[in-house]
């Protein structure tokens, strides 16, 4: 007999935590109840008339088996973190520097070599995990990745590869299934955005990448079509992902995703 995990994401509501989210034990005890709290990260328009908002019970539960303390209700991330969500870790310089120092300390204490899998749970905009700069380790055409100060709550990073340097903006991040990035540099002969989606399959999962590219310069458009190829970047990325996980790559044309 197996217990099906209920997920709040995409429901537009919430899911009650009935079993420990780490060890799956049903032995949970209430340790603190803070009442009913509304979502607090919505930026309402100045002068907007007050209206009813939902409130959710804020109760802390402790698992008697593994001692994990967790919130007793999981709310759909779309409710807690709307598009106008104002706070990201990368907007604060002190926090960026603190995370960079934490990365240096963790590397020294744990003796990290750069080949380890590092997971940041509850990563906000990814400022901490980005300090580990794993991309150059598995993308053979990337030399360096530098995290930049966020702009208007959007994470920015500068990527240096064999093709040059590009500044990218994270338009949307919904771990672990969807990531949208776009070229933030101005004045380039090309631009566009990329959608990365991980889709569950019977065998495991499938990575879909959609490139919505624009080429403004006629000469660069000619070179891309007849010499470089429109799918070169996508093909290289997929091959690098396959090599990272020691998998055989099977590149096929799929259905393009939209923003």
Question: What pLDDT was estimated at residue 1?
Answer: 43
Q: Hunting for tokens 């990368």 — which residue is that?
A: 90
Q: Is residue 189 part of a domain?
A: yes
| Residue that is last in its domain, among 80, 96, 115 | 80
Instruction: Report the distance separating Cα 197 and Cα 211, nearest Å.
Output: 12
Q: Is residue 138 part of a domain?
A: no
Instruction: Report the distance separating Cα 42 and Cα 53, nearest Å.
Output: 11
What residues are paired with 148 via a beta bridge? 156
Q: Is residue 248 part of a domain?
A: yes
83 in helix, strand or coil?
A: coil
Q: Is residue 239 part of a domain?
A: yes
CB of 190 closer than 8 Å to CB of 178: no
What residues are paired with 195 via a beta bridge? 180, 210
Instruction: Report the distance separating Cα 24 and Cα 28, nearest Å.
Output: 10
Nearest C-alpha neighbor of 179 from the set 161, 193, 158, 160: 193
What residues are paired with 214 via a beta bridge? 191
What domain count does the chain have?
2
| Residue that is last in its domain, among 28, 52, 80 | 80
Q: Is residue 45 part of a domain?
A: yes
Q: Is residue 121 part of a domain?
A: no
| pTM of structure | 0.51
Domain range for 223 is: 166-259
DSSP 49: P
Q: Is residue 130 part of a domain?
A: no
Q: Is residue 24 part of a domain?
A: yes
Per-residue confidence in pLDDT tens, the chain, 259 aa: 455 667 888 888 899 999 999 999 999 999 999 999 988 777 777 888 888 888 999 999 999 999 999 999 999 988 887 777 767 777 677 887 788 788 888 888 888 776 677 777 776 777 777 766 656 677 888 887 877 776 776 778 888 888 889 999 988 887 778 889 999 998 888 899 999 998 888 888 888 999 888 888 787 777 777 767 677 888 888 888 888 878 877 777 777 788 7
| Residue that is last in its domain, among 27, 46, 80 | 80
CB of 59 closer than 8 Å to CB of 71: yes
What residues are paired with 224 via a beta bridge? none
């Amino acid at each position: 007999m197996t217990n099906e995990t209920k997920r709040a994401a995409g429901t537009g509501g919430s899911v009650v935590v009935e079993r420990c989210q780490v060890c799956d034990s049903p032995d949970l005890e209430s340790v603190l109840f803070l009442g009913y709290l509304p979502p607090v990260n919505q930026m309402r328009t100045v002068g907007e008339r007050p209206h009813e908002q939902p409130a959710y019970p804020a109760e802390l539960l402790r698992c008697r088996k593994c001692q994990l303390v967790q919130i007793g209700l999981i709310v759909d991330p779309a409710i807690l973190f709307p598009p106008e969500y104002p706070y990201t870790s990368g907007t604060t310089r002190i926090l960026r520097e603190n995370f960079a120092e934490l990365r240096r300390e963790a590397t020294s204490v744990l003796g990290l070599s750069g080949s380890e899998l590092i997971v940041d749970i509850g990563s906000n905009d990814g400022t901490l995990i980005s300090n580990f700069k794993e991309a150059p380790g598995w993308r053979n055409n990337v030399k360096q990745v530098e995290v930049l100060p966020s702009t208007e709550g959007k994470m920015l990073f500068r990527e240096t590869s064999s093709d040059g340097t590009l500044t990218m903006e994270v338009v949307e991040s919904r771990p672990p299934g969807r990531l949208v990035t776009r070229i933030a540099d101005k004045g380039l002969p090309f631009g566009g955005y990329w959608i990365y989606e991980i889709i569950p399959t019977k065998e495991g999962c499938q990575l879909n990448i959609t490139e919505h590219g624009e080429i403004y310069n006629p000469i660069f458009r000619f070179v891309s079509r007849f010499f470089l190829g429109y799918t070169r970047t996508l093909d290289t990325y997929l091959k690098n992902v396959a090599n990272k996980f020691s998998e055989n790559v099977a590149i096929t044309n799929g259905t393009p995703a939209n923003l």
